[in-house]
Amino acid sequence: MATLPAELAPLANGKRISYLSTNVNAIPITATGLILTPKTGKNNKIVVWGHGTTGLADQCAPSASQSVFWPEARAAIAELLRRGWTVAAPDYPGLGTALAHPYLVGASAARSMIDSAKAAKNLDATLGTQYVIDGHSQGGQGALFADEIAPSYDGNLTLKGVAAIAPVSNADLFAPLIPGTAAQGYLVMALYGLQAVDPTVVPSLILAPPARAKTGVLQSGCLYEILDAYADLTASQLLVGGALPQSVVTKLSRYANPAQKAPSAPILLVQGTADEAVPYVITAGPLLTQLSAYSQPVQLVELDGASHDGAVFESTTLVANWIAARFT
């Protein structure tokens, strides 16, 4: 049994699991996560929770470290449990295992999310085949990728919908805006995430010497330590030449941008207008346009004045109501 955060312990029994997933090349890998079973009102539906960015190192796996089991994640999961749903909460590949974490490689997180739902069902034969994925930030991006691969990947399970709160998208539009801002740590992590799937991307050749000197924090720290370490650098202290090479932007987009393929289930987008990490204009503009070009229904809920994490806190009931309407 896993020791759960105080917000969740009264609501669920938790198991920390190792389970089988695959990498983006379909090679079997081990991933870790939590399965949370509601103590009351259990109705045998599965919801996968995809957490926002925690970091790159093994101590940044939420199933093993409550310090990165973010408050907004606890709030979202608590509401899912109150609805009687079993929650699968994957750490994502490379967080909690020896592999490198392919940060912002959407297909990597997506596979581990779907496989966590399979693992939940393997642990509990009373669970049905319907599942929904609910994710924030990195997890919202992963959820949108899972929506693309589900029919070919989820076996006898049936994906009923995807809720994506402030999902990462359109890396080609936002990545060039990051150098010289407080969000630089995200970009450094993204370079290493890309290297995990494409060894031709060599962060040490892209990062300028002052940024290179700080890369130890990627193994010693988690999200906030990483953001703090890089926040004050200028663009030219961060990157050689002060900008990302176009070849890197192109690769980042290929691996990080959802909506390159058709989704298979309805989508709820939730986005705060005052989001400091994922720009509102990108979710409400290009991402909504891209997703709406396909046949699955897409709904955008804008939360006026909500920050990146605030959008999760403010939408727990709204998202759970939307999920409830997807299950049949």
Q: Can you list the positions of beta strands (E) in the chain? A: 12-22, 28-38, 46-50, 86-90, 130-136, 158-165, 267-272, 298-303
Q: What is the amino acid identity at position 51?
A: H
Residue 12: pLDDT over 90: yes
Domain 12-170+257-326 CATH class label: alpha beta
Confidence of residue 26 (pLDDT cuts 50, 70, 90): very high
Domain boundaries, the chain: 12-170+257-326, 180-253
What average pLDDT does this structure show over 222-238? Answer: 98
Q: What's the CA gap between 89 and 116, in Å, rounded?
A: 7
52, 137 contact by CB (below 8 A): yes
Cα–Cα distance for residue pair 294/261, rounded to 1 Å: 9
Contact 154, 118 (CB under 8 A): yes
Cα–Cα dist 13/37, whole Å: 5
What are the tens digits of pLDDT across the range 56-104? 999 999 999 999 999 999 999 999 999 999 999 999 999 999 999 999 9
For residue 18, the model assigns a pLDDT of 98
Strand order of the β-sheet with 28-38 is 12-22, 28-38, 86-90, 46-50, 130-136, 158-165, 267-272, 298-303
Residue closest to 193 by CA, chosen among 30, 24, 31:
24
Count CB-CB contacts under 10 A for residue 91. Answer: 28
Q: Tens digits of per-residue pLDDT, 177-226?
A: 999 999 999 999 999 999 999 999 999 999 999 999 999 999 999 999 99
For residues 220-244, give the mean pLDDT.
Answer: 98
CB atoms within 10 A of CB 280: 17
Place of tokens 């020791």: 3
Q: Is the pLDDT of residue 1 over 90?
A: no
pLDDT digits (tens, 9 = 90+) for 266-287: 999 999 999 999 999 999 999 9
